[in-house]
Amino acid sequence: MSKPIASASRTREILTTYELRARKSYGQNFLIDVSVVARTADASHCEGAVIEIGPGIGSLTEQLALRSRHVRSYEVDERLLPVLEEELREYDNIEIILQDFLNCDLEVTVKKLEARYGTVSVCANLPYYVTTPILFKLFEGPEAVQYITVMIQKEVADRFSAEPGSSEYSALSVESQVLYRVKKLFTVPRTAFSPSPNVDSAVIQFERRPGIVADREFFELIRASFHQRRKTLYNNLKEYTGSSDMAETLIRESGFEAGVRAQELSPDEFVRLYQTKKRIEG
């Protein structure tokens, strides 16, 4: 039995054999800590089908394959394809797709995977330069994806999981917490990667809240409410709606104090604000 790909020695061996150098432009930092990778896969609810973004040389892919019925993994760097084919050849439940995840048809993919394997989750060590666009593609994607478990920069994880009133609480926190129960699972030191990045990471999990649909208009309202953090919600809404009357009515009819700031409102209060807006607009 060979060592797991995530072990430091096997990673080194693979990089040497294929004369590979990590590509910074693709955000390549390979995990070299088996326990971190195993813990991430264990937490991911991957028993049906799991979608991975960025397999790299396959460290997390392998651990997912050991725990799930099917792994569908998207990679942009074509140099990694022969490596993955060879190193993961003993697994027959892995499908590697050479494609930018941002261009895939998530709706169709999730539907097919769900029909065949029952559940669909997402688990990935995300490339940092596209963390937010990838997560927003998932947030706007099908509700069938119940769990998204991802490794991201610790600082960004803190923003997603921040509570109302804290300095990290932002539009990002509200947008994700309206749709998901957000849990920071554990932090990962920079030394768990090769090459080692300049910042620490964290594994964060988004568990879908049932029955909540957030459209672009709702996200727009949230972003507008935080537009100028130092200003009151009234001032931000006045600018967004172009009407002081409308801003005042929205705040009053949602049951908020006149001088409230966006950072004091909970995700559920933002849902109320949006519902008020929809009701007023008819």
Q: Could you list the residues that contact ligand SAM (CB under 6 A)?
A: 26-31, 53-56, 59-60, 74-77, 100-102, 125, 127, 130
Among residues 196 and 228, whose Cβ is nearest to ligand SAM? 196
For the chain, what is the radius of gyration of the CA atoms? 21
Of 160, 178, 136, the closest CA to residue 274 belongs to 178
DSSP label at 3? P
Q: Whole-angstrom Cα distance, residue 49 to residue 51?
A: 7
Q: Tell me the residue nearest to ligand SAM as measured from the CB.
A: 54
What minimum distance in Å lies between the beta carbon of 192 and ligand SAM? Answer: 9
Instruction: Closer to ligand SAM by CB, 10 or 238: give it.
Output: 10
Least Å from the CB of residue 132 to ligand SAM: 12
Q: How far is the CB of 165 from ligand SAM (least distance, A)?
A: 32
CB of 136 to ligand SAM, least distance (A): 13
- Helix-strand-coil split of the chain, %, nearest 5: 45, 20, 35
Q: Which of 59/236 has CB closer to ligand SAM?
A: 59
In terms of CB distance, is 167 or 196 closer to ligand SAM?
196
In this structure, the number of other CB atoms found within 10 A of the CB of residue 2 comes to 9
**CA–CA dist 117, 129 (Å, integer):** 31
Quick one: 30 or 270, whose CB is closer to ligand SAM?
30
Phi then psi dihedrals of residue 280, to 5 deg: -65, -40
